[in-house]
Amino acid sequence: MSLFEKHRAIIERAVQANRERVFFAQYPENPKAYAEDANAAGLLKFQNSMNTDFSELEQAQPLRFEGEEVSPYLQTGLGIRYPVFADKIVVERAKTAFQSWRKVSVAERAGILTESLERMKERFFEIAYATMHTTGQSFMMSFQASGPHAADRALEAIAMGYEELSRFPAETQWVKPMGKFDLTLKKSWRPVPKGVSLVIGCSTFPTWNTVPGMYASLITGNPVIVKPHPKAVLPIAIVVAELQKVLIENGLDPNTCQLSVDTSKFPIAKEFVAHPDVKLIDYTGNSVFGNWLEAQSILGKEVFTEKAGVNSVIIDSCADLKAVADNLGFAVSLYSGQMCTAPQNFFIPEGGIETAEGHKSFDEVAAALAAAIEGIAGHPKMGPGVLAALQNDLTADRVKEVAKLDAKILVGSHAIVNEEFPETRTASPVLLQVDGSQEKLFEKELFGPIAIVIKTKNTADSIRLAKQLAQKHGAISCGAYSTSEVVMEQIADEMASVFVPVSFNLTGPIYLNQHAAFSDFHVTGGNPAGNASFTDPNYVNRRFVWVGQRYA
């Protein structure tokens, strides 16, 4: 049985979910859905990988081994070293692999790639500990984001590519009636992949943000070079290693997908970008480098970016202020705000808002949000679990610096005690208050556990500011609270005009930070926060070209 036939039901169900946008998860997010001993086995495997050379990659003749990952929980290096290769050698190997991979049918590719996800599933717990000790995420977030959720995002890209590549017939008999005779041509079409693909990973979500571009390029026939962030290599190294094993088992070149590791002192991303044979580039990270990458499109590169954005929350009115504050307080606190979808700016009218419990003043709304944030940070069990750890010192320094701004401090930041890992790098969220006229203080992304309450003239002013910031600096998410259908439509329309999705009246166990595979398009690609959206058809269609032939 071919791997496509083996996984046909999964692939077809994923295609259907992409079309319907309903809830679908091939890989359960609850750790209890997996083998009883999987957690202990995964932890042991992670521990055994420390202070060793990572030897699972099927990539020959490395120049040397390097590694600089440091656990935000232990504050010590993991001691894992990875093989390092010259960038030109990596590209040449990708070009060689391209010649065989591009000839593999889309069905075969889909089967092979889905099989790699099934292999990845067997290592979800190991990947979780690897993610936890490179990014600072909590164990549960590490498990879900780098395991099941990442695998679902990868499957989503496979399914979208499979459908787009199957959209047109491989060949047809074209007949044009001409009166006394028919004009007949045989016509055929083939989707031609563009070439070597470079995927540049980030330090906070090393698999979730990497696998969409990686699998979108692979399903469309392009070989991939994964260049992870040097501080977060192990999670995606495991994924690449499993894929390489599947490629070899099916008689294919493992260099179809390669891992290329660099260091902070000697980065290699620009060398790859400059190589004329690198045609596709996926990137998640800061806007400065992202903007530079987007400019490379003039050299014939297809660039897909997710950069920084300024995410807003517009509070107009609500039924239950405490429920709203609790939801937003959690969204601010989750992984210490180190998520591209985390809210930063909270726009509240100076005259206050209407609620089911009566009118609430501006100060009361701000106080409710402050209490929710402090309640999480001060909880001995919830605090460490929700806030987790800061990935790097720069984020911790940023929290200290914003306290010096010309703003009222509603909630100060402090260290969070983690009894399991006493050395954890932490900082509880800081909440500032400014006036809507102090735009310079809140117009850019302040990555990390930083939130700002902004006093506006009214809801119309709140909408104006949120829209203006999104148009100028980009936004990946937006939250809004209103009991008025008219106001909600106004917010939806204004924010849609700058290509920002809006989540209305979230008060339960779903938060502004969360985007679901097969349903939510992550980043719209329409504002400065990024030029691509995974996973929509354009995300895969830009990776290949339809070429036709005619035969008389």
Dist CA 453 CA 449 (whole Å): 14
What is the model's pLDDT at position 299?
Answer: 87
Q: Which two tokens stand for residue 301?
A: 């590169």
Residue of 11, 45, 204 lying closest to 123 (CA atoms): 45
CB–CB of 109/97 below 8 Å?
A: no
The burial of 398, by beta-carbon neighbours within 10 Å (0-12 exposed, 13-18 middle, 19 or more buried), is given as middle
Task: Measure the CA–CA gap between 157 and 15, rounded to whole angstroms.
Answer: 10
Confidence (pLDDT) at 486: 98
At 54 the pLDDT is 98
Predicted pLDDT of residue 404: 87
Which is nearest to 413 in space by CA: 449, 444, 384?
A: 449
Given strand 345-349, what is the order of strands in its sheet?
408-411, 430-435, 450-456, 345-349, 312-315, 478-481, 503-504
Partners of 432 in the beta sheet?
409, 452
For residue 203, give the nearest of 223, 233, 166 by alpha carbon: 233
Q: Kindly report the CA angle at 547 between 545 and 550, in degrees rounded to 5?
A: 170
What was the pLDDT predicted at 1?
85
Q: Which domains does the chain have, with CATH numbers?
A: 3-307 (3.40.605.10), 312-504 (3.40.309.10)
Say if residues 384 and 416 touch (Cβ distance below 8 Å): yes
Distance between CA 361 and CA 374 in Å, rounded? 20
Using CA atoms, how far apart are residues 186 and 167, in angstroms rounded to an integer? 18
Q: Is pTM, for the whole model, over 0.75?
A: yes
Rounded distance between C-alpha atoms, residue 346 and residue 436, angstroms: 10
Are 158 and 285 spatial neighbours (Cβ–Cβ below 8 Å)?
Answer: no
Predicted pLDDT of residue 297: 87
CB atoms within 10 A of CB 527: 22
Predicted confidence at residue 162, as pLDDT, reads 98
CA-atom Rg of the chain in angstroms: 24
| 3-state SS class at 83 | strand
List pLDDT tens digits, range 239-295: 999 999 999 999 999 999 999 999 999 999 999 999 999 999 999 999 999 999 999
Q: Which residues, 6 or more positions from 420, have their beta carbon under 8 angstroms from its beta carbon?
A: 384
CB–CB of 282/214 below 8 Å? yes
Tokens of 403: 């306290």
Residue-level pLDDT at 222: 98
Dist CA 319 CA 355 (whole Å): 5
Distances (CA, A) of 217 to 106, 127, 238: 12, 22, 19
List the Cα angle 231/281/213 in 5-degree steps. 75
3-class SS of residue 126: helix
Q: For residue 403, what pLDDT is reported?
A: 85
Query: Can you name the residues that pair with 545 across neighbouring β-strands?
Result: 192
Amino acid (one-letter) located at 499: F
How high is the pLDDT of residue 270? 95
Burial of 175 (0-12, 13-18, 19+ CB in 10 A): exposed
> In the chain, which residues have pLDDT < 50?
none
pLDDT value, residue 339: 95
Dist. CA 518–CA 24, nearest whole Å: 7
